[in-house]
């Protein structure tokens, strides 16, 4: 994020979004990118062309992971949890929107050369995978938007009409488009605007070939009269307000109590509080919400997790890409005593399978915790442990906060994106979070909780992202089930005093370095790993 030091919110970055599957980075993120872009034309599209780069994850997976439907859903103004998301292309046709998708190496175009901007590292962003959205409104206004999926459903708009911006959905964004300006002229307007809006968070500007953009970020909706006055400024040709898409707005003045796992441990120890209370304090500092509001939100998320499991267990067998759903069959074996008894793992296995099949069939809302590709792990571990040990709802909610605290340390030092660090960043992170939650539920102290998280992540280092057929089915579903047993086993030995040797923060840093070393073919591009098996190559990518 530009002009600021990025702090992570448990509701923006760790436990969310609430979404329709199958992928947080390739379904929910497109919805959010499309929504931010669609606000430029007030969701009134006449023509939409979306371009993906070749040999990158979107280009190879956009049909199987429903990215196409996600982008159009967002451009229509829908949100990540809209049950109509799977039908967005049909709705676009009903509205007579001309929709097309292209594989095109658009980065070779000349507008990537010589731009001036206050936004640092813009060129670095252009070296990463970018999606290009060409919008034409019903009134024939045209906009070209470049967006990025960062991982776990988080996004960034990095260009509008060739002008660098940084819009991530955690502010109200007031955008001023200018014509016939130079660097001196736009800097003078920039100074004038600073005096018009007190309490702004950040102001950035960019200029390219006589055109400019000024971006004013606030934590409040700017009055329409103020926006109207902006239109009177010389050389301003258009004024927009883009509303936030994330639940928690960023506050540049907040000072977080910790950012990594060890500091979270020390903070709780020095304050004489439990880890869940430390996370509560952190989120209150970030969001400005009081404890009651945060806990109510946690309660809602836990309820959605329960409903997803119930939904999955009660669904009849149905088509799932190149195979069929299997929860019903395995659930029947379980209730008829044909399941090899493994204690908590029996339910945890079923719950993980049920949640993942709801996600993969896009048949109901799930929580990306921290990603949709790993959404079966944390809910199944917490809820099965709670049921088998008759643990109170209140304590389960606190366990979810503990897991979120571990997620904060992961987000701070690594990435949740399979495209960046492989499946170790998705199932590995979720398993680490779940292990910490179970250790808490087993009355482990903060050292044991973080040890459990470290062990679980150590066990999954190097796990690649190689979904077959460009869909969140094989091996994603069975890897969630594997990660469940990893979480519970790691917690069990941690609370018994097992020494993981390498502390959690260091394991997280190793995970990120390992991810960087993995070749692109093993990070979500559907080029190698299981995707390279002869059987996998025969499978046709299906919607």
Asked if residue 62 belongs to a domain, the reply is no
Asked if residue 420 belongs to a domain, the reply is yes
pLDDT value, residue 429: 98
- Domains in the chain: how many in total? 1
pLDDT value, residue 541: 47
Asked if residue 76 belongs to a domain, the reply is no
The answer to whether 409 and 279 have CB atoms below 8 angstroms apart is: no
Residues for the chain: how many in total?
543
Identify the domain containing residue 379 by its residue range.
Answer: 261-538
pLDDT value, residue 275: 98
Asked if residue 321 belongs to a domain, the reply is yes
Q: Are strands 202-208 and 211-218 parallel, antiparallel or unpaired?
A: antiparallel
Asked if residue 290 belongs to a domain, the reply is yes
Asked if residue 61 belongs to a domain, the reply is no
Query: DSSP of 249-266, one letter per residue?
Result: ---TT---S-SSHHHHHH
Stretches where the chain sits below pLDDT 70 are 1-5, 107-127, 540-543
Tell me: the pLDDT tens digits for 344-388? Answer: 999 999 999 999 999 999 999 999 999 999 999 999 999 999 999
Asked if residue 318 belongs to a domain, the reply is yes
Query: DSSP of 284-328, one letter per residue?
Result: HHHH---HHHHHHHHHHHHHHHHHHHHHHHHPPP-EETTEE--HH
Peptide bond into 155 cis (omega under 30): no
pLDDT value, residue 117: 61
Asked if residue 227 belongs to a domain, the reply is no
Task: Please give the DSSP secondary-structure letter assigned to residue 222.
Answer: P
User: Smallest Cα–Cα separation from 13: which of 277, 296, 369, 365?
Assistant: 369
pLDDT value, residue 3: 34
pLDDT value, residue 539: 83
Q: What distance in Å separates the CA atoms of residue 145 and residue 152, rounded to the nearest whole number?
A: 21
């Amino acid at each position: 994020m530009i002009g600021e030091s990025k702090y992570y919110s448990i509701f923006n970055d760790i436990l969310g979004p609430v979404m329709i599957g199958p992928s947080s980075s390739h379904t929910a993120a497109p919805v959010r990118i499309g929504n931010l872009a669609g606000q430029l034309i007030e969701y009134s599209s006449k023509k939409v062309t979306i371009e993906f780069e070749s040999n990158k994850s979107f280009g190879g997976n956009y049909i199987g992971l429903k990215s196409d439907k996600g982008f159009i859903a967002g451009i229509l103004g829908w949100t990540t949890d809209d049950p109509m998301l799977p039908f967005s292309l049909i709705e676009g046709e009903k509205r007579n929107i001309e929709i097309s998708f292209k594989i095109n190496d658009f980065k070779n175009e000349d507008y990537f050369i010589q731009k001036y901007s206050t936004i640092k590292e813009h060129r670095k962003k252009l070296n990463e995978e970018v999606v290009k959205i060409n919008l034409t409104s019903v009134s024939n206004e045209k906009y070209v938007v470049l967006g990025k999926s960062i991982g776990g459903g988080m996004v960034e708009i990095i260009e509008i009409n060739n002008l660098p911006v940084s819009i991530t959905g955690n502010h109200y964004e007031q955008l001023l488009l200018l014509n016939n300006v130079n660097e001196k002229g736009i800097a003078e307007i920039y100074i004038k605007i600073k005096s018009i809006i007190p309490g702004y968070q950040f102001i950035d500007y960019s200029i390219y070939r006589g055109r400019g953009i000024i971006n004013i970020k606030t934590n409040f909706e700017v009055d329409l009269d103020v926006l109207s006055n902006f239109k009177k400024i010389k050389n301003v040709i258009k004024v927009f307000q883009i509303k936030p898409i994330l639940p928690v707005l960023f506050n540049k003045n907040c000072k977080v109590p910790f950012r990594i796992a060890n500091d979270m441990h020390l903070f709780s120890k020095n304050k004489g509080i439990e880890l869940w209370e430390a996370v509560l304090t952190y989120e209150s500092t970030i969001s400005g919400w009081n404890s009651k509001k945060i806990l109510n939100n946690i309660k809602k998320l836990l309820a959605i997790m329960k409903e997803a499991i119930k939904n999955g267990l009660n669904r009849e067998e149905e088509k799932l890409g190149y195979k069929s759903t299997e929860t019903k069959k395995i659930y029947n074996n379980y209730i008829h005593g044909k399941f090899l008894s493994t204690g908590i793992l029996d339910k945890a296995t079923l719950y993980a399978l049920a949640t993942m099949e709801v996600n993969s069939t896009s048949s109901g809302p799930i929580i990306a915790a921290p990603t949709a590709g790993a959404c079966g792990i944390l809910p199944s571990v917490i809820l099965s442990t709670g049921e088998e040990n008759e643990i109170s709802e209140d304590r389960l909610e606190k366990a979810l906060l503990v897991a979120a605290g571990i997620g904060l340390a992961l987000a701070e030092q690594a990435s949740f994106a399979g495209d960046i660090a492989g499946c170790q960043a998705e199932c590995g992170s979720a398993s680490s979070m779940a292990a910490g939650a179970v250790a808490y539920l087993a009355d482990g102290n903060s050292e044991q909780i973080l040890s459990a998280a470290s062990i679980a992540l150590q066990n999954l280092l190097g796990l690649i992202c190689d979904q077959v057929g460009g869909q969140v089915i094989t091996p994603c579903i069975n890897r969630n089930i594997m990660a469940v047993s990893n979480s519970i086993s790691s917690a069990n030995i941690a609370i018994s005093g097992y020494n993981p040797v390498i502390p959690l923060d260091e394991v997280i840093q190793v995970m990120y370095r390992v991810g960087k070393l993995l070749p692109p073919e093993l990070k979500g591009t559907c080029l190698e790993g299981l995707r390279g098996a002869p059987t996998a190559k025969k499978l046709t990518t299906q919607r």
